């Protein structure tokens, strides 16, 4: 019986690892695709979070009552972007770009986890939310070199050069892959092992 139980756990672990690898690839590809919506001072920038939200919906949403999660995730991007821009404009100290990107990433990671919680309530535990926020913060740091080069385009042309578009793909891919894969893994564990430390029932 113990041997059979051990084999079953191994099979579950391999399936989880394989599915996580697939999800990592999907979110990274989604990040590359999402980056093309970004445009300085343009309404198109508001739609950057839509592909990510739709992919999350495909992974988590199973009932019509859970559909609002998709809209909330799409809106999280706008909130995170506003926080990053506001922080960058308000700070004059060195390394302000890192801090502003980290702030946006932190809010984005926290917001995505909370939104996914509409469909997967157990992910809203205190530590899972904190972990999602920290991962979001760290995964947003690759945006800093790009931001340093253009400073969000606040005083530049709204058009992106091909080189700038290419440079923007990688930070989006990193952030979406990191946050999306963590939330996927955490939600899977939450389904199999319910956590009593859940916020906002």
pLDDT over threshold 60, residue 1: no
Nearest to 173 by CA among 51, 41, 31, 67: 31
Per DSSP, helices labelled H in 35-95 are: 49-60, 68-90
User: At how many degrees (to 10) do helices 68-90 and 49-60 cross?
Assistant: 140
Which tens digits make up the pLDDT trace of 58-94?
Answer: 999 999 999 999 999 999 999 998 888 787 776 665 5
CA 180 to the chain's CA centroid = 5
Domain segments of the chain as ranges: 2-192
Residue 59: helix, strand or coil by DSSP?
helix
pLDDT over threshold 60, residue 181: yes
In this structure, the dihedral spanned by the alpha carbons of residues 131, 165, 82 and 124, taken in order and rounded to 10 degrees, is -20
If one compares 12 and 25, the residue with the highest pLDDT of the two is 25
- What is the 8-class DSSP label of residue 157? -
pLDDT band, residue 154 (cuts 50/70/90): very low
Separation CA 104–CA 96 (nearest Å)? 12
pLDDT of residue 14: 83
Question: Do residues 91 and 130 touch, judged by C-beta distance below 8 A?
Answer: no
Separation CA 46–CA 48 (nearest Å)? 6
Which tens digits make up the pLDDT trace of 105-135?
Answer: 999 999 999 999 999 998 989 999 999 999 9
pLDDT of residue 201: 44
């Amino acid at each position: 019986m113990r041997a059979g139980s051990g084999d079953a756990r191994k099979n579950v672990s391999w399936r989880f690892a394989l599915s996580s690898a697939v999800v990592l690839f999907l979110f990274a590809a989604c990040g590359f695709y999402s980056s093309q919506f970004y445009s300085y001072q343009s309404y198109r920038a508001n739609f950057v979070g839509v592909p990510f939200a739709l992919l999350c919906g495909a992974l988590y949403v199973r009932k019509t009552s859970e559909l609002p999660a998709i809209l909330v995730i799409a809106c999280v991007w706008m909130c995170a972007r506003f926080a990053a821009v506001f922080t960058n404009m308000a700070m004059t100290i060195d390394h302000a770009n890192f801090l502003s990107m980290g702030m946006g990433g932190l809010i984005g990671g926290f917001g995505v986890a909370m939104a996914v919680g509409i469909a997967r309530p157990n992910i809203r535990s205190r530590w899972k939310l904190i972990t999602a926020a920290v991962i979001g913060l760290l995964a947003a740091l690759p945006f800093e070199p790009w931001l340093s080069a253009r400073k969000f385009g606040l005083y530049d042309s709204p058009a992106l050069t091909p080189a700038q578009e290419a440079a923007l793909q990688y930070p989006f891919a990193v952030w979406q892959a990191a946050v999306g894969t963590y939330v996927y893994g955490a939600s899977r564990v939450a389904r199999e092992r319910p956590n009593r430390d859940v916020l906002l029932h």
